Amino acid sequence: MERIALPLPHLNHRARRRRIAAGAALVVVAAALTAGCSSMTAQNPSSALKPVNAVPDGGDDRVMLKGADVTAYFTQGRYVQGSPQFKSVYEGVTFRFASTDAKKLFDAEPKKYLPQFGGYCANGVSFAIPWGGDADTFRMEGARLLIFGGKESKDAFELDVPGNLKLAEKYWNEEIAGNNSWWQRYKRMVFRVPHYKSGPELAKMVADAKARKP
């Protein structure tokens, strides 16, 4: 007897979720194969820092924030590019610095200089999506370094810093920390958080907020 495949709308809720999840998994695998697995490996060290916004570069397999000097945000209040000449490996991740003095600062107290949320865009993490993060777009929130995936993401986050920071902390602690960045990313692009906003929606919110200012 020939089997009849039911259309997706006729499947029960659990079956639909399984099928969608399977599709998301295939997307992850395909993306990993396309990238040669190097990005996935770089972002997911076997350490307490997993996952991180890192890339392979030169002879280093896992360079944080494309080599930005993480101490400069704290000591100079600005983005400074580090050099392969001055580097330290912490929890399997390579950090580069602009000078020996900067390296010494980090080596003495590495946890102090770690960017929040693995260096991913804090606005993305507030939607449970660990993705993006440009070293030159940042915000110091007290003694905490927040990285963003561009000015638009930073502007959207700053519409409600306390609220968005609370959401980012929640999703980082409950879902992201210790898990594979690629799986988490695509899972939450399929099963979106209740407060999810698209790029155009966030841009409109930012524009409306600016228009209301005197």
Q: State the average pLDDT over residues 19-32.
A: 50
Q: What is the pLDDT of residue 213?
A: 84
User: At residue 25, does pLDDT exceed 60?
Assistant: no
Q: What is the pLDDT of residue 18?
A: 52
The owner of tokens 């919110």 is: 205
User: At residue 13, does pLDDT exceed 70?
Assistant: no
Least confident of 2-11, 73-82, 85-94, 109-118: 2-11
For residue 135, give the nearest of 101, 163, 98, 162 by alpha carbon: 98
User: At residue 136, does pLDDT exceed 90?
Assistant: yes
Alpha helices in the chain (DSSP H): 13-34, 38-43, 70-75, 100-108, 122-125, 151-157, 161-171, 181-190, 199-212
Q: What is the pLDDT of residue 27?
A: 53
- Supply the DSSP symbol for 7: P
List, for residues 33-73, the tens digit of each pLDDT value: 444 478 889 999 999 999 999 999 999 999 999 999 999 99
Axis-axis angle for helices 13-34, 181-190 (nearest 10) = 140
Beta-carbon contacts of 157 under 8 Å, excluding residues fewer than 6 positions away, are 122, 123, 126, 139, 146, 148, 164
Q: What is the pLDDT of residue 99?
A: 98
Least confident of 31-40, 62-71, 128-137, 145-154: 31-40
Q: What is the pLDDT of residue 17?
A: 52
Name the pLDDT band for 179 (thresholds 50, 70, 90).
very high
Locate 7 and state its tokens.
Answer: 């259309």
8 A C-beta contact, residue 40 and residue 50: no
Instruction: Pick the more confident residue, 36 or 200.
Output: 200
Q: What is the pTM of this model?
A: 0.83
